[in-house]
A = this chain, B = another copy of it.
C-alpha cells in the first residue's frame, strides 16, 4: 500500500523545486522502470503491482519495494496510464563533458516531450551526450523521462551555460538553421557538436559565434518548419550515414 506520506512525496517530485531539494526523480511505467533496473542508477524506493513483482522477480532483489494495487499506482502516477511501477531514483551527479565523438547541444528547448523524444533518438543513433542550456526543460521532469522510453539511462545530460561549454570545446560546431547548407550534401566529421535551437527563437545570438557551420534540412513542400525533435532525428540520421 502507498501511505499518505509516500503519496505526498510522489506528488512533490512532480515539481522541479522538490526534485532539486531532495535530489530525487521519478521513473514511471513498465518500460522505463525495466530499463532503470538494467542501469547503474540508484533506486531509493520502488512501488509496484504484485503482477509486476512476480513477472520480474529475479531483477528485483535487494530493492526497497512496496507492492500496491493498480488503482493506487494510477492515482499516484503523473502519467495517463501506468499500471506497473513507479520508482524514486537518486539524481546522478553531472559528469564531465566529452571532448570527442558526437555531442548534441539544445538551446532553449523548453518542451518536456520534445526533450524526451530527442534523448530517445540520440540513443537510437548511439549519441551518449546531450548539453542543455539552463532554460531547457528539466531533464528529470516526469514527462521527459516518460518520452525517452528508457533512453534516459544511456544518455548523459549536462545542463550548463552554453557559452562556458563552447569555450572548452575544439570540435566543429554544426548549427541547424533555415537557409544553411543542405544536410544531404554535408560531409560530417566523426567528432562534432550539433546545436539545435527552439522552434520559436532558433539558435540564439549569444551562442551564434560558436557555430562553425550552418546546416539545413532541405524542404520539398510548403511546411514552414519542423518540430525540433523531428529535425534533430533527421539530422542525426544524416550525420551517422556519413560514418556508416
Binding site for B on A (CB under 8 A): 117, 120-128, 149-151, 154, 184, 217-227, 229-230, 233-234, 237-238, 240-241, 244
Contacts and interface: CB of A to CB of B under 8 A. Distances in A.
A219 B122 CA distance: 10
Contact of A124 (B120, B126, B223): B223
The 4 closest A-B pairs by CB, nearest first: A126-B220, A126-B221, A123-B223, A124-B223
A127 B128 CA distance: 33
Given A124-B226, A154-B221, A184-B241, 14 more contacts: A117-B227, A120-B223, A120-B227, A122-B221, A123-B223, A124-B217, A126-B220, A127-B221, A184-B244, A217-B237, A218-B240, A226-B233, A234-B234, A237-B237
Given A226-B233, A237-B234, A221 B125 contact: yes
Contacts of A218: 240, 244
A144 to B, nearest CB: 14
A149 B150 CA distance: 29
A226 B154 contact: no
B123 A222 contact: yes
24 contacts: A120-B230, A121-B223, A121-B226, A123-B222, A124-B219, A124-B221, A124-B223, A124-B226, A125-B219, A126-B220, A128-B221, A149-B224, A151-B223, A154-B221, A154-B222, A154-B223, A184-B241, A184-B244, A226-B233, A230-B233, A234-B234, A234-B237, A237-B237, A237-B238
B149 A225 contact: yes
Contact of A125 (B121, B154, B220): B220
Nearest to A155: B221
Contact of A230 (B121, B127, B240, B244): B121
A238 B184 CA distance: 9
Contacts of A217: 124, 237
Contact of A240 (B220, B222, B225, B227): B220
Contacts of A222: 123, 126, 151, 154
